[in-house]
Amino acid sequence: MDHPLSHPWVIKAAYFALGIAMATVPWWAALLGFMALAIMVCRRFASQGREVVAALLLAASGFMYFSWHQLPVPDALPVEQDAVLSGIVVGYPRVQEQRSSLVIKTDLQSPYLRRIQVFCNFETRLIPGTAVELTGVLQRPAFPGNPGEFDYPAYLARHHIYYLLQVEKPQDLKEQPREHRLPAFSPQWRARMVEQTRAVLPEQEAGLILGMVLGIIDNLDEDLYQDFQRTGLVHLFAVSGLNVGFVIVLASLIIAAARLNRQVGMYLTIFMILLYSSLTGWPISVQRAVIMAVLSLLAAYLGRNHDPANGLGLAALIILALDPCSLFTISFQLSFLATWGLVVLYPALKGYFNIKQRLWDLLLVPVCAQLAVLPVIAYYFHLITPVSIISNLLATYLAGVIVILGFVALLLLLLFPWLSAVLLIPAGFCAHVLLAINAWCKTLPLAYWMVATPPLAVVGLYFAGLLWLVPSLRAKARRAQLIRPVLLISSAVLLLLIPPWWLEQGRLELAFIDVGQGDSILLKSPSNRFVLIDGGGSIFTDIGRRKVLPYLNHLGVNRLYMVINTHPDVDHINGLLAVMQDRKVDYVGVAEASLEEPALQNLLALARQKGSRVLALKQGQTLDIDGLTLSVWYPPGTQSADEELNHQSLVLFCRLGRFSALLTGDQSSENLAQCLKQHREKSLIVKVPHHGSRYAWHADLAKDAQWLVLSVGKNAFGHPHQEVLQDIEKSDARLLRTDHHGLISFSSDGRTLQVETFKSGS
């Protein structure tokens, strides 16, 4: 039977990548990994000692190379300081919503300051290679506080960046003269293309074309981008091998029309793909495609046989040798896996089933690409997209027309700008059709499924089944012999579809989400109904999309039974807007006293638009959710006109058996004292009111509590106040803080209690 990785360069790349991966785990796990690799290779190549030695040497090389290449990050690095930095702009800056982000390379001695991620609170159109002097606040990136949240420090570290620089005003950015600078031809050409496309086409079509042709997604609507994710077409914005393939098609048409000989044709094709790649900024997917394309062109010119899978393996080795951190990027994983599906899995399936009909052949291509990346898409994007088979079948050729027209328009821009503009019009029409296809595919039944973050063991199980299946297909094994690998793959897919909370029937879970300076609490009933109480919020960033939705995605929660807003302050309500837009919500609960508040109207309008029923909550009401009771202790139905928003805050008491929790919102100490006097129930868990403000704190809150939870982040209000912390320290209750512990989760069956935190705390 053929080895599943029978192509030698693929095997070499796999061993090298395995060594890199083992360099990121504890020493004992790496040792076990090397032992497992040695046993596996010995069993496969029992009589070939050289193969065993080569495998271990390649893995060891990857291990040592990554260990030497990656810089350890000490805990003692300064957290924040004012700074004036000079450097060179690296790569193309991104501009979005009047803000810019770019990377600069400095000449500083500290290895932690040689590359800096810069955020400007204004638009800037700098090009790569520009020398700049920047004045701002240098700070460490914040670590994620919740499961599922994007790990920005880890992402930056993979690009050798350890600090952010916040630049507030345009005068804090100064361009500097630079000697021996090469002419910035490509960046200026690219910038002119951006201006022309936006001038000629409507905003949505222009954004789509710039994303597909040049990979610029700065002005692409966030909801539209998410729709393309859910239809499996988001790869069109990745500037991938598909785009390079379309450029090769264009080169072939030019070669045929001009009747160029093979040598000139090869040089022209290589020149065109190198030119296109430089205009896109050389993302990993383009690097892979260019290496494979050049190898294929050289083999054809020299009359040699070319194995695309070996080209894939060699491309992986070259890219990992240039930067071993590439292995851990989404673009590397998706690009190489999807291509593996096309160059290895596709011919194996096609040969086994002897597919000759063109239609079945066309269907098989997106099926193989989807099978190759399915668990990785589920892991990073919490999606399984069956509709991608249909959407890619409908969109691929249309995408080819858009990329070819866009690239020709780009080529003509410098000499014939009017002709370039004319070509953008049919490209814009094709983009409009593509938008319609995407919108239609999204509405199809079972177009996509949202799934929880799968355990890595499930991802490994899936790929083990796939690697077992491929050699069986190549060897034309009997159908009965395919049952076991297919069963393994099917089992992994089934596990992908089952969220972990589905197995927690009968247990209540109360999670205090880390939303920085704000409140957000997720409550799961014993019958798996979810209630979200507040969603955090900020005027500077979308907390709902950055913090709350990633946690819901991680859990695989695609429907909420109820959303409750305690009161319409920014740090409680703003994050709920993104959640309401993205999730189906049955009920929306708000304080009756706040119904007329202007700050609440956007949420109420969204509720009406989404078909959610609005509940006006007031003192004395009790919600029964499958045996879990949620009692409203405050406020009454009416409030005085001058009552501040915090005093309108809902105070909720949650009970299941012996489990109880008092959720205080931002209520005042006077009103909380009244609640405690009126209700004699003891609270096992108490949320410290108003992020630890001394004007909201009442010492009796800690009297009977075992756990006190403080939802707080970086702020200018002095929260939590020292007097509050001193009071808590005197009590018998244990304090947990979201700024120290991240997400804080309590789980109970009504009798016992389990407590978990995302961080170890400090």
E strand intervals along 97-200: 99-105, 115-120, 131-139, 163-167, 173-176
Return the minimum-mean-pLDDT range out of 207-211, 361-365, 578-582, 610-614: 361-365
Q: Find all residues with CB under 8 Å of 173, minimum gap 6, and list them.
A: 120, 124, 132, 133, 134, 135, 167
Mean pLDDT across 104-120:
92
At residue 474 the predicted structure's pLDDT band, cuts being 50, 70 and 90, is confident
E strand intervals along 461-500: none
- State whether residue 162 is helix, strand or coil: coil
Per-residue pLDDT tens digits for 289-319: 999 999 999 998 888 888 899 999 999 999 9
- State whether residue 314 is helix, strand or coil: helix
Which pLDDT score is estimated for 387? 94
Which pLDDT score is estimated for 188? 80
pLDDT at 101 over 50: yes
CA–CA–CA angle 195, 233, 552 (5° rounding)? 105
At residue 713 the predicted structure's pLDDT band, cuts being 50, 70 and 90, is very high
Which pLDDT score is estimated for 2? 45
Residue indicated by tokens 């008491």: 653
Which pLDDT score is estimated for 75? 66
**How is 283-311 classified by DSSP, letter by letter?**
-HHHHHHHHHHHHHHHHHHHT----HHHH
Per-residue pLDDT tens digits for 538-559: 988 899 999 999 999 999 999 9
Per-residue pLDDT tens digits for 244-281: 988 999 999 999 998 888 899 999 999 999 999 988 88
Mean pLDDT across 116-142:
91
pLDDT at 519 over 90: yes
| Prediction pTM value | 0.91
Q: Distance between CA 5 and CA 305 in Å, rounded?
A: 19
Mean pLDDT across 309-330:
94
Return the minimum-mean-pLDDT range out of 187-191, 213-217, 438-442: 187-191
Which pLDDT score is estimated for 666? 94
Average pLDDT in the chain: 90
Beta-bridge partners for 629: 624, 655
Q: In this predicted model, which residue has the larger pLDDT, 95 or 711?
A: 711
